[in-house]
Amino acid sequence: MFRWQTIAWSLLVWSMIFTYTILTYIDAEPLYRAIPLGTLFAILLTLTALVAHAAKETKSLLLFSGWCFLTLAGILLRTTGNINDWHLNLLVTLFTVIAAVVWCIAGHIEHVTEPGLYWYVWSVLSIFAVLCAFNNNSQTAIIIYTTNTGLLAVAHLLYIRHIVKFLTSGPRRCLYLFRVLSCFLVVTTLMVGSLCYKTNEIDSVQWEEWVIVTEVLLLLALVVDGILGFAQNRINAEYQSVATTDVHV
């Protein structure tokens, strides 16, 4: 039952993001574009309240939720015209730097997660902060953006190697690999499109269409992840059934 709830919440969050993207693509009024953002804020708040007491990594969850809330607030302010792109980049950079520092301190002192995931998340947050800080069309920014896109790819590949090397072969490792590979594919697709847009290889309309395609890839990844998750639960249930039978024998 919990697996169904996870998939339902994930698809609900995705649907709000996709709705906002479509409304932006058709150049809808700011008020209409703000509706899915407000709904997404309410969904994330409700979801955080529901799972915080049951999550094993409560601090990590609260850190991620806090970053999402602050970033979402910045996007909402940009959508309603209260701030411009420069202010949004500054805010997201600041929020991401704070999240990276908190994650670094918490992970180092309190060991909130295993080392591989710790360094992977910290690397991605740090690189993303640099990407946001240089999110403009200047030649220097494009060079830095390209370099950090490459570093982002390296971070994913190193973590994939870590999973293959240190995780025991089985359904759990398969699920982890799929999630990291999916993240790698979605992020790489988005970064390549962003670079094409910054270098004028594609125009603004094509860039928005690129984002839509990337979000469709994300949807496919969520669906396949759900299927793999159900398969893992079935295998675990069969294993527990066999173990129980052996004990009685």
pLDDT the model gives residue 105: 78
Helices (H) and strands (E) in the chain, counts: 8, 0
54 vs 20 pLDDT, higher one: 20
* Residues 196 and 249 grouped into a single domain: yes
Does residue 134 register a pLDDT over 90?
Answer: no
Q: How many distinct structural domains can be found in the chain?
A: 2
Can you give the residue range of the structural domain that contains 208?
140-249
* Residues 122 and 180 grouped into a single domain: no
Residue ending a domain, among 68, 103, 133, is 133
Region 221-239: what's the mean pLDDT? 67
* Residues 17 and 101 grouped into a single domain: yes
The pTM (predicted TM-score) of the whole model is: 0.84
* Residues 124 and 199 grouped into a single domain: no
* Residues 237 and 215 grouped into a single domain: yes
For residue 237, name the pLDDT band (cuts at 50, 70, 90). Answer: very low
Does residue 166 register a pLDDT over 90?
Answer: no
Q: What is the pLDDT of residues 168-218, one digit of tens each?
A: 888 888 888 999 999 999 999 999 999 999 999 999 999 999 999 999 999
Please spell the DSSP secondary structure of 161-216, one letter per residue. Answer: HHHHHHSPSSHHHHHHHHHHHHHHHHHHHHHHHHHHHHTTSS-HHHHHHHHHHHHH
Q: What is the pLDDT of residues 85-97, one digit of tens each?
A: 889 999 999 999 9
For residue 79, name the pLDDT band (cuts at 50, 70, 90). Answer: very high
* Residues 63 and 35 grouped into a single domain: yes
* Residues 122 and 183 grouped into a single domain: no
Report the first-to-last Cα separation within the chain, whole angstroms: 30
* Residues 116 and 176 grouped into a single domain: no
Alpha-carbon gap, residue 148 to 145, rounded angstroms? 5
Residue ending a domain, among 102, 118, 133, is 133
pLDDT the model gives residue 231: 58
